[in-house]
Amino acid sequence: MAFRIDESRCVGCGGCAFTCLFGAISAVTSEAKLYAIDAEKCVECSQCSHVCPNDAIIAPDGYKPIKRVTIIPDECKGCSLCSRACKAGAPTGKIKEPFEINQDKCFRCGVCVTKCKFGAIKVEY
């Protein structure tokens, strides 16, 4: 599952491609009048849909947006895998000490959750 672009609504502004930190959105034509989302690269963070002026970004069926991502201090080993995977730089801390997630930086994509080997990251939908 991945977000997709409704071609009938896309005006080719490129805001979605500029916003995507994962490189999942690119121009379909050389004139950059139409964009598409690569399902293999899309992490369903929904940032593209927030910037689209024409509501051309369509969420996949059953999509539940993440409302909050937090690290459980007692479970976190301070390995920094979450921090290294986060394109926004939201998880911060010192190695071998519990990390924290800066909620102002976090755009709730859930990539950190997939990298944590200790189940120390909690997601609220």
Contacts of 62 (CB under 8 A, 6+ apart): 1
Query: What topology is assigned to 4-58 in CATH?
Result: Alpha-Beta Plaits (3.30.70)
Give the pTM. Answer: 0.80
List the pLDDT tens digit at each of the 125 positions of the chain. Answer: 799 999 999 999 999 999 999 999 999 877 778 899 999 999 999 999 999 999 999 999 999 999 999 999 999 999 999 999 999 999 999 999 999 999 999 999 999 999 999 999 999 99
Check if CATH label 3.65.10.10 holds for domain 68-124.
no
The pLDDT of residue 6 is: 96
| Residue 98 near residue 71 (C-beta atoms within 8 A) | yes
Q: What is the pLDDT of residue 25?
A: 97
At 31 the pLDDT is 76
Identify the pLDDT of residue 99.
Answer: 98
CB atoms within 10 A of CB 34: 14
Q: Hey, what are 62's tokens? A: 């059953």
pLDDT at residue number 33: 81
CB 100 within 8 A of CB 93: yes
Q: CATH 3.30.70.20 in the chain, residues?
A: 4-58, 68-124
Phi, psi of 124, rounded to the nearest 5 degrees = -110, 130
